[in-house]
Structure 1
């Protein structure tokens, strides 16, 4: 942007929300200001839900579950198919809104909506594949089998960095499994949640009244609203995405009432570059994984172990990429790096870089960048930190574009360092040595839920179960057989004979 405040995102945002079906009164007169990180300007004044509101939404969702579970699963899948159609028809508008409210570049905003569409397709097929096993039994003339039943209200707590896709990953699966859904989005991205809720309302209308009222609820607000969702006994499952600090609180609360948790938390993700790596491929993959989305992905690359034999070939080229990357308005073509979400993210980044210097790190980049004189927006140049040892801030996740680069000599030692931090969603190795690749994906290798070869750690696909943050043992909300987390299993035994096996010698006087 060449001039400060040369355009207004607020008017465009209102137009998008209105076109998607959000009532104008939901965008004004509230106590919470929704802002765009692109300019820092206010977009709307939304209304937070009260504790009484939350109680009522959860009650309606529980009542809806009792009816929704009675519909055949393929019929439930029809609603998700209709949701996918609404998302396809409105992909451009919702993707644009994601970019405006979360600060993502245009392709990533659209890509997030595409993930929503993909999971709808996946869930529609899943609605005809909720299989149980027939089990061999030791008893004659008996049949034993497992069946899967809906669990109840599914609570979803999502983060700002994927403001709509995370809800879809959960909701599409939960709905076909027979559950209702209550969503508490990030207080930093309420507008995309309102838009998504409006699109679901359109799908429900096309479903012609076969879905009960309250099947999908939306709760806007801060921590107190989320705590109500976590504490309510009518919510047997909560899927929460966010920081590990948040996950520890949520996990403990759910465990206290024996509820289920799906936790996808922070990821201090790492990659290893071996002497045989294709350095051109590695350079592109590392640069995108570390800098894309301004380092605000749960799968962003944050630690890089480079073999000493190729260190001087790769790292100077990485520095060149860091110095030349396009930073600016994410809505403009050619921009790769948009803004940090807010000042808190900027301050956390600067604190981490200061700590890295205290540990002997050499910092390249990391400074604030002026974009159009927008003093309320926080654009930064991604930071590359050369550091000798994994210590201090390297062992903690900072949700910002910081890449710590460390040399290594022995692959086993590098894998040990790779696994030494408690956080980790995803990981990568760059190598053309088959043995190194197989070691990395073996039980002796990466301890993360995703372990990739010759591809960066970001970009998980819908079909994989993801694996989850290693500190929690949690799993992703979609893919593979993760649908089982949204259902309860029962084992059934049917006696089709005329006798009942009893312990030897036991007799009854039946008269």
Structure 2
């Protein structure tokens, strides 16, 4: 079956067709996708622009009920959608099912926000005058998402944007097109969305950028949401800035996990294992560097490397910690990261692609069939090492030591990312000090660097983003604009700051 872009409710056939394969079984074709081009993107933006006013006229509580219906339909199809996520990107099924649950949670949360798109009634400094504020939709939104979370992350943008009265052009990752079409169908059918309200575009990166640029030039796009690398995020931010827009950017991370002397080491190891190697280390919130106190370094490293060696790796349909890398391009890039390992680093165990000549004990399934790699722990990393300073998208975790908490926080902030962070401690002072001084937008105490809930703000600072937030009520500031209204019923012109009423206190009174 060939999957296509869908613009204004109609399938749009592109100029070329590409097969999407299962990274765990490369010979298995999950589906074929017809790629559009920059004109497809612009056409979708035109359709969204045309549909926006009528969608915004639908009362917000009714839009909220549409979101609720989407949530129920996704819930009814959760297992099938999760299996498709596993087949197309190799995410272990348990994780994929949890990702689908994020859509449901997001829909459940924003159902209520359809009745809470509140403005305010504000007292005026003048008589016979009332002041109000209202939330207005921004208009037409372009959403460009990565494929490591092919259904959860799009829902973080699309659900609140729809609820707020916006229309959408969605361009998913080129390596998860089949699951993207399934997600699209569930949203359109579950929400009963009119044609043009949600449009799906399949095209490559250069055509996406060119189509977005033209759409901005023609005034068709009012807001851009982007999840992906910091490098591409800079380009998106620069492009939107030229049109006096601020994109919602959710970018990469080099997420630290600090282990203090008081930490429960078994719990810290469990958190580091999931943070570093869940989704094969291919999350924006994946663990980058463990920063462990010198007094517990050796014990932690011994337990951590033992846990990594014992972890189940392989077929993502089975009970495994990690499956394959998402796509061949990520495997190629990951091998570059392995080349960053230096002589002063210590690596325990094998590295590289798993196969007959580089086996892994206890591997689940057929390693030769897919893009499977050894999880790697690199001890002795330090500032100035690329493996310490830069995001490594894949199953590789660095380890370094510290003497004081001040030093640990300095190391945690040093790479300049600011997405997620974690500290393992039983000392409340350490926890509060870390929370206060870490530059990350998200902090976990005695939990992993990964994971968020639908009603908390998600996002980062520095190289990880421009301070915008997704999820919870905070994301509504990305997809609405405040409108202020003053209503004067005095029957005469009252000039603010010029005609205000003043009391006349007696400042000379003395007891």
TM-score normalised to the size of structure 1? 0.89
* C-alpha separation in 1, matches of 2:196 and 2:98: 29
**Are 1:429 and 2:429 an aligned pair?**
no
How has the CA–CA distance of structure 1 residues 361 and 201 changed in structure 2, closer, same or farther, with 3 Å as cutoff?
same
* Post-superposition CA distance 1:240-273 (Å, at most 9, x none): 0010011011110011111231111011101110
* C-alpha separation in 2, matches of 1:283 and 1:71: 50
SS of the residue aligned with 2:301?
Answer: helix
Match of 2:278 among 284, 292, 309: 292
Aligned positions of 1:267-286 closer than 5 A: 267-286=253-272
Match of 1:468 among 444, 455, 460: 460
Aligned positions of 1:52-451 closer than 5 A: 52-204=39-191, 207=192, 211-227=193-209, 228-232=211-215, 233-332=219-318, 334-358=319-343, 360-362=345-347, 364-370=349-355, 375=368, 377-393=370-386, 394-442=388-436, 445-451=437-443
**Cα shift at 1:140:** 2.0
- Residue 454 of structure 1: aligned partner: 446
How has the CA–CA distance of structure 1 residues 132 and 328 changed in structure 2, closer, same or farther, with 3 Å as cutoff?
same
* Post-superposition CA distance 1:95-147 (Å, at most 9, x none): 10001111100111111111011111111111111112222322222111211
* C-alpha separation in 1, matches of 2:336 and 2:207: 30
How has the CA–CA distance of structure 1 residues 165 and 231 changed in structure 2, closer, same or farther, with 3 Å as cutoff?
farther
SS of the residue aligned with 1:406?
Answer: strand
- Residue 360 of structure 2: aligned partner: none
**Cα shift at 1:373:** 5.2
Moved over 6 A (4+): 25-29, 503-506
SS of the residue aligned with 2:25?
Answer: coil
* Post-superposition CA distance 1:420-446 (Å, at most 9, x none): 11223100011111100011111xx21
Aligned Cα root-mean-square deviation (Å)? 2.3
How has the CA–CA distance of structure 1 residues 500 and 160 changed in structure 2, closer, same or farther, with 3 Å as cutoff?
same
Unaligned runs of 5+ in 2: 4-8, 356-362, 500-511
SS of the residue aligned with 2:393?
Answer: coil
- Residue 506 of structure 2: aligned partner: none
* Post-superposition CA distance 1:327-371 (Å, at most 9, x none): 111012x21110012333223223222222245444544332137
* C-alpha separation in 1, matches of 2:46 and 2:12: 22
**Are 1:483 and 2:476 an aligned pair?**
yes
CA contact (8 A) 2:23 2:89 kept: yes
* C-alpha separation in 2, matches of 1:122 and 1:315: 40
CA contact (8 A) 2:38 2:208 kept: no
SS of the residue aligned with 1:239?
Answer: strand
CA contact (8 A) 1:369 1:379 kept: yes
Unaligned runs of 5+ in 1: 1-13, 18-22, 507-511
CA contact (8 A) 2:468 2:478 kept: no
Match of 1:38 among 18, 24, 38: 24
**Cα shift at 1:460:** 1.1
**Cα shift at 1:376:** 5.8
CA contact (8 A) 2:21 2:30 kept: yes
* C-alpha separation in 2, matches of 1:89 and 1:187: 26
CA contact (8 A) 2:229 2:252 kept: yes
- Residue 501 of structure 1: aligned partner: 494
* C-alpha separation in 2, matches of 1:253 and 1:221: 19
* C-alpha separation in 1, matches of 2:228 and 2:479: 20
* C-alpha separation in 2, matches of 1:246 and 1:192: 23
Q: Which moved more, 1:39-48 or 1:372-381?
A: 372-381
* C-alpha separation in 1, matches of 2:397 and 2:144: 28
* C-alpha separation in 1, matches of 2:290 and 2:37: 45
How has the CA–CA distance of structure 1 residues 263 and 77 changed in structure 2, closer, same or farther, with 3 Å as cutoff?
same
SS of the residue aligned with 1:118?
Answer: helix
* C-alpha separation in 2, matches of 1:39 and 1:388: 34
Q: Which moved more, 1:335-344 or 1:109-118?
A: 335-344
- Residue 8 of structure 1: aligned partner: none
TM-score normalised to the size of structure 2? 0.89
Number of equivalent positions: 478
CA contact (8 A) 1:365 1:384 kept: no
- Residue 505 of structure 2: aligned partner: none
**Cα shift at 1:488:** 1.1
Q: Which moved more, 1:469-478 or 1:154-163?
A: 469-478
**Cα shift at 1:29:** 10
* C-alpha separation in 2, matches of 1:310 and 1:199: 50
* Post-superposition CA distance 1:26-59 (Å, at most 9, x none): 9999521211111112322210123332222111
* C-alpha separation in 2, matches of 1:347 and 1:321: 26
**Cα shift at 1:487:** 0.8
* Post-superposition CA distance 1:53-91 (Å, at most 9, x none): 222211111111111111110011121111111101110
**Cα shift at 1:375:** 4.3
